[in-house]
Chains A and B, each alone.
Chain A
């Protein structure tokens, strides 16, 4: 076969691969939209109760170095932590090239005692490298809710996390675990180095303000968005719920999360 024909054939094969990619892209996107319209099956729900606070009491939350849980820069107070997998992940990258979007989270507290603090943890797809929202300095974001219920008994089942750069956390919702090397219902967070992994994930009440802000409220019901401004793929997203008082028996936190595509 002459050189020119081989070139044409090779270019044809490349074009077919690209066309197949667009077909897959269109088919997946159409299926996603169809699912989204029919009672939104991509909507993930989770419920946190008193027994889901598996870690604590402690004044800090996981990172390469301990970071504060409550508003402010310095760790203080005795907090109990629960980790919930949200089921949806934010998608970052170049908005002209992919369907970027955030995760919309609706929450509803019942009988919340003290203050609840929301933080987010994202695991990089394919490994345990973890990102979280910045707790201090430029780009700080967070969400705090105060309740008026009477505190309950301290949870006997909770124990503080050991400090380090790798944490094995127990999840509140152990519906699935992708890693067969660890026991069911636990996931590993690994923070590569201090200063890294703090500027990708954010909590915001307005998805247009992608770097987020700190919100403090007394409303037991509300919503926020988890945005991602990094270029890698977030494989799993966890919401950390921390409370600074032992919760009463009737305590419940209802969460609904769904992927929301960015406006273009």
Chain B
């Protein structure tokens, strides 16, 4: 019997699952009382981007997003319950797309910024869409979406820069497999 190798190795699956769980734990455990939309993005883009950067395969970010989304849907305290999986997965897909576009140079702060900002912005859009789908009056949630998009971009971008700096340090220190990550960043 021919045994087909799985797309992700056991090590990669374990790593991505841990990062998915970490994204969920960070989201649930750390509350920053800024009352600024998207401020949590500075923290919860970290596991998604770092997980994607370490595995360096298309779908890694999506896997992290799905794991964290499943955990948030069934064990989280967020308002959207099962719909939470949509925004977590959307963020993972976005980080995947940005990573592929830039050849997985997620140790570069600019790429990190773009991945984090794009992920957090897409999460915001999905969040608004789900609220509208659930029947929340559009007037009351769409007013303020302009400023909200800026804060999502800034906080997600800052989280992305932090993730890139961590990935860069991990690669340079030889803690993780470097492959073709450039040494000069």
Using a CB–CB distance below 8 Å, which chain A residues touch chain B?
A: 3, 6-7, 10-11, 13-14, 17-18, 21-22, 24-26, 28-29, 31-32, 42, 89, 91-94, 96-99, 124-127, 129, 178, 231-233, 235, 259
What 4 A-B pairs are tightest by C-beta distance, nearest first?
A98-B144, A25-B146, A22-B146, A21-B149
Q: Which of B98-135 contact A (CB under 8 A)?
A: 98, 101-102, 105, 110-111, 114, 117-118, 121, 125, 130-131, 134-135
Q: How far is the CA of A91 from the CA of B137 in the complex (A)?
A: 12
**Chain B nearest Cβ from A5, distance in angstroms:** 11
Check if A94 sits within 8 Å of B35, measured CB to CB. Answer: yes
**B153 neighbours in A (Cβ, 8 Å):** 14, 17-18
**Once bound together, how far apart are the Cα atoms of A18 and B117, in whole Å?**
11
Whole-angstrom distance from the CB of A149 to the nearest CB of chain B?
36
A/B interface sample: 25 pairs, CB < 8 A = A6-B101, A10-B118, A13-B118, A14-B114, A14-B121, A14-B153, A17-B121, A17-B125, A17-B153, A21-B148, A24-B146, A29-B143, A32-B139, A93-B35, A94-B36, A97-B36, A98-B37, A98-B144, A126-B131, A126-B134, A127-B80, A178-B135, A233-B131, A233-B141, A235-B135
Number of A-B pairs, beta carbon distance below 8 Å: 113
Q: How far is the CB of B23 from chain A (nearest CB, A)?
A: 20
The answer on a CB contact under 8 Å between B142 and A233 is no
With A25-B146, A98-B148 in contact, do A232 and B135 touch (Cβ < 8 Å)? no
Instruction: Check A18/B150 contact, CB under 8 A, given A7-B110, A97-B144.
Output: yes
Inter-chain contact A14/B118, CB cutoff 8 Å: yes
B residues 61-91 in Cβ contact with A at 8 Å: 79-81, 83
Interface SS of chain B: helix, strand, loop or mixed? helix
In Å, the complex CA distance between A18 and B152 comes to 10
Query: Given the interface contacts A6-B101, A94-B35, does A28 sit within 8 Å of B79 by beta carbon?
Result: no
CB pair A18 B144 closer than 8 Å: no
A6 contact set on B, CB distance < 8 A = 101-102
Least CB distance, B114 to chain A, in whole angstroms: 5
Question: Which of A21, A42, A89, A91 is packed against the most chain B CB atoms within 10 Å?
Answer: A21
A233 CA / B138 CA spacing, docked (Å)? 12
B79 in contact with A25 (CB, 8 Å): no
| Complexed CA–CA distance, A24 and B143 (Å) | 8
Q: Is the CB of A32 within 8 A of B121?
A: no
Q: Is B17 part of the contact surface with A, judged by Cβ < 8 Å?
A: no
With both beta carbons as reference points, the residue of chain B lying nearest to A259 in the complex is identified as B140
Q: Which of B79, B114, B134 contacts A178 (CB 8 A)?
A: B134
Give the chain B neighbours of A127 by CB distance below 8 A.
Answer: 79-81
A11→B135 CA distance, assembly (Å): 33
Q: Give the B interface residue count (CB, 8 A).
A: 41
**B145 interfacial contact with A, CB 8 Å:** yes
- A26: chain B residues within 8 A (beta carbon): 146
**Cα distance, A24 to B110, chains bound together (Å):** 28
Known A22-B146, A28-B143, A99-B144: A125·B36 in contact at CB below 8 Å: no
> In the assembled complex, which residues on chain A have CB atoms less than 8 Å from the CB atom of B149?
17-18, 21-22
User: At the interface, yes or no: B136 with Cβ under 8 Å from chain A?
Assistant: yes
Nearest residue (CB) in B for A97 is B147
B52 at the interface (CB under 8 A from A): no
Given known contacts A10-B98, A232-B79, is B138 in contact with A28 (CB within 8 Å)?
yes
Q: Which residues of A contact B141 (CB under 8 A)?
A: 125, 233
Asked if B143 contacts A32 (CB within 8 A), the reply is: yes
Residues of the B chain whose Cβ atoms lie less than 8 Å from the Cβ of A259: 140
Q: How far is the CB of A138 from chain B (nearest CB, A)?
A: 19
Residue of B33, B79, B147, B150 near A126 (CB, 8 A) is B79
- How far, in Å, is A210 (CB) from chain B's closest CB? 14
Contact of B139 with A28 in the complex, beta carbons under 8 Å: yes
> Do residues B114 and A7 form an inter-chain contact, with CB atoms below 8 A?
yes
The residues of A that contact B83 with a CB separation of less than 8 Å are 126
Collect the chain A residues with CB atoms within 8 Å of residue B134's CB: 125-126, 178, 235
A24 in complex: contacting residue of B111, B121, B130, B145, CB < 8 Å? B145
Instruction: Give complex CA distance A231, B32 in Å.
Output: 11
Q: Which of A11, A32, A92, A98 contacts B114 (CB 8 A)?
A: A11
Cβ-closest chain A residue relative to B151? A97
